[in-house]
Amino acid sequence: MSFGTTEYRERIQKTKEKMTAQGIEVLLITDPANMNYLSGYDGWSFYVHQMLVIINDEDQPIWIGRGQDANGAKVTTWLYHENIIPYPDDYVQSDTKHPMDFVADILKQIGQDNRSIGVEMENYYFTAKCYQQLQKGLPNAAFKDATLLVNWVRLIKSSAEIEYMKRAAIIVENAMQEGIASIDVGVRECDVAAKIFHTQITGTKEFGGDYPAIVPLLPSGEKTSTPHLTWTDERYKQGDTVILELAGCYRRYHSPLARTVNIGKPSDKVQLLSNVVVEGLNACLDMIKPGIACEEIEETWRRTIEKSGIIKDSRIGYAMGLNYPPDWGEHTASIRKGDKTVLQPNMTFHLIPGIWLDSYGFEASESLRVTETGCETFASLPRSLFIKDGALTN
């Protein structure tokens, strides 16, 4: 297990308090990050249906998943083995039966079929078919939308979680430095990505890395006008701008980081854009502290850069930490206009005020922890545009 039993029990208790507040007696969790958070379960099995069942008057959750993954649950969770219930393999990708039929049968057997049941409706891993089969199998249950119920419990991190994110930050610093050092005229994008991956997984001599929830994002040249492109087998050219958005990951906890590099002297417009973004980012970091709302950070950003005439209409950050593909964000608090979430110590965010214009862009970001008096960044690399000219310079 990544954490002691005491911490898992505290997380379960906080979850049950939210369940009670929302009138939920049984919570069905399919988000693998939430499953991990409450049970410790960690396996690449989320491509098939699996579930953690939290019952308000039961001490431990129940894990239900594919038979061949049950031993994985025994190895990675704090649950009693009798609370690990496998379904037969003929439920997997079948056109005659569905894993939620099995889940419904288990809930009937343990007398939970006529209760108020919460499901994570807005979830990558919970399909329309899942909901349909649960409704069909549990006609006497009252279903409620429990989307993000556990995610909001995860918002404030424990000291152990913070330590994991600090380790992830060391990994991402190494990966970023390796990526920037590898980018040069004639080098293939895929070869840079390979070196980044190697560094992410190798970690350090003291601790290894985990696979991040998002692969390295490496748009270059005109492709820097958009943030979510990966890599090709094309070779870098003199004058190319390259954005690197990466994360270190340790025991599923992330520390994302974005930086931008230019091969040779940057154009005036790229240099100007980099100056604007870094100035705005620094202004936000200087004012973040407990007691302010997320929207106040965005307002600081907007007021700082308004003299440039540049407008950014997307959010500039979000809560993040524990997660699985396809996203390291927690889907709760966002740093944007209208989000009134009040910052508290040990909330963690990815502050990423990147700007992507019609034919070029720039990113610099920081993963941060809200402290008792302000904030601290997990990484400590320079934020300004890196300029490559045969050797790494800044």
User: φ, ψ for residue 348 (rounded to 5)?
Assistant: -125, 135
Give ranges for CATH 3.90.230.10 in the chain: 159-388
For 146-159, how does the pLDDT look when each residue is reduced to its tens digit (9 = 90+)? 999 999 999 999 99
User: What pLDDT does residue 40 have?
Assistant: 98
For 234-287, how does the pLDDT look when each residue is reduced to its tens digit (9 = 90+)? 999 999 999 999 999 999 999 999 999 999 999 999 999 999 999 999 999 999
Mean pLDDT, residues 352-367 taken together: 97
Nearest to 316 by CA among 293, 297, 288, 342: 297
User: What pLDDT does residue 1 have?
Assistant: 72
Taking the C-alpha atoms of residue 381 and residue 262, their distance in angstroms, rounded to an integer, is: 16
User: What pLDDT does residue 78 have?
Assistant: 97
Report how far apart the first and last C-alpha atoms of the chain are (Å, whole number): 42
How long, in residues, is the chain? 394
Give ranges for CATH 3.40.350.10 in the chain: 5-154
3-state secondary structure of 258: strand
- Assess contact for 204 and 170: CB atoms under 8 A: yes
Confidence band, pLDDT 50/70/90 cuts, at residue 391: very low
CATH number of 5-154: 3.40.350.10
User: What pLDDT does residue 390 have?
Assistant: 52
Q: For residue 107, what are its two tokens?
A: 């809930």
Confidence band, pLDDT 50/70/90 cuts, at residue 389: confident
Instruction: Give domain 159-388's CATH architecture.
Output: Alpha-Beta Complex (3.90)
Confidence band, pLDDT 50/70/90 cuts, at residue 167: very high
For 28-52, how does the pLDDT look when each residue is reduced to its tens digit (9 = 90+)? 999 999 999 999 999 999 999 999 9
Taking the C-alpha atoms of residue 17 and residue 11, their distance in angstroms, rounded to an integer, is: 10
For the chain, give the percent of residues with pLDDT over 90. 98
How wide is the angle at C-alpha 211 spanned by C-alphas 208 and 216, nearest 5°?
A: 115
3-state secondary structure of 128: helix
Residue 394 has pLDDT above 50, yes or no: no
What's the mean pLDDT when you consider all of the chain? 97
| pTM, rounded to two decimals | 0.96
Confidence band, pLDDT 50/70/90 cuts, at residue 231: very high
Label the pairing between strands 329-334 and 116-119. Answer: unpaired
- Assess contact for 77 and 97: CB atoms under 8 A: no
Residue 393 has pLDDT above 50, yes or no: no
